[in-house]
Amino acid sequence: MATVAITFTVTCSAFCAAQSVQANEVKSIAGKEKQSKPRVVKIAGTYKVILDAQALAEAKKEGFVSITGQWTISPNGAFAAALKLVKSNGEISNINTAGRVRIINGKVVSQVEILNGEKPTEAIPTQSYTLLSDGITLQADDQPVKLVRTN
């Protein structure tokens, strides 16, 4: 259990730590075209956490029967994420994170400030996400996680 919890903590921390989205908008103002600054408000909302099939298969081998999660990004850049892991014996583990989201060089980057109610002793690495063409899915770069917007 400890190894699996650590693995999922790292996964959750990684997906909660940062997102990258190519976010550019072109506006026509007074007959001139100008590129506006990407804003976090464009990705604000609630997202369902989805693990890919391989990650779910690995989790099942470790005795997990359910892994669910939700991410909420506020227009001001604050985020909160929760991951619930249920083992076949009924044991439940919860991982909760909170932090800030910002856009840097066209990428959405968030930093975990709170992990399970406490400030982490070491900085948690950032994780980039790519906004897919459907406009509602954030796919984690190099991680088996995606976030699908529900509102």
Range of the domain at 47: 2-149
Stated pTM of the model: 0.73
Please write the tens of the pLDDT for every residue from 8-19.
333 443 333 333
Angle, CA 111 vertex, CA 107 and CA 116 arms, to 5°: 145
Please write the tens of the pLDDT for every residue from 107-140.
777 789 999 999 999 999 888 888 888 889 888 8
> 60 pairs with which residues across the strands?
none
CATH of the domain at 69: 2.40.128.120
Highest mean pLDDT among 28-32, 39-43, 88-92: 88-92
Total number of domains in the chain: 1
Measured distance CA(68)–CA(7) in Å, rounded: 15
- Would strands 64-73 and 78-87 be described as parallel, antiparallel, or unpaired? antiparallel
User: What's CA 86's distance to the chain center, in Å?
Assistant: 20
> 137 pairs with which residues across the strands?
148
Q: Is the pLDDT of residue 31 over 50?
A: no
Is 58 or 141 the better-scoring residue by pLDDT? 58
Which one, of 16, 18, 15, lies nearest residue 110 by Cα?
Answer: 18
For range 100-109, the mean pLDDT? 77
Quick one: three-class SS letters along 75-143?
CCCEEEEEEEEEECCCCEEEEEEEEEEEEECCEEEEEEEEECCECCCCCCCCCCEEECCCCCEEEECCC
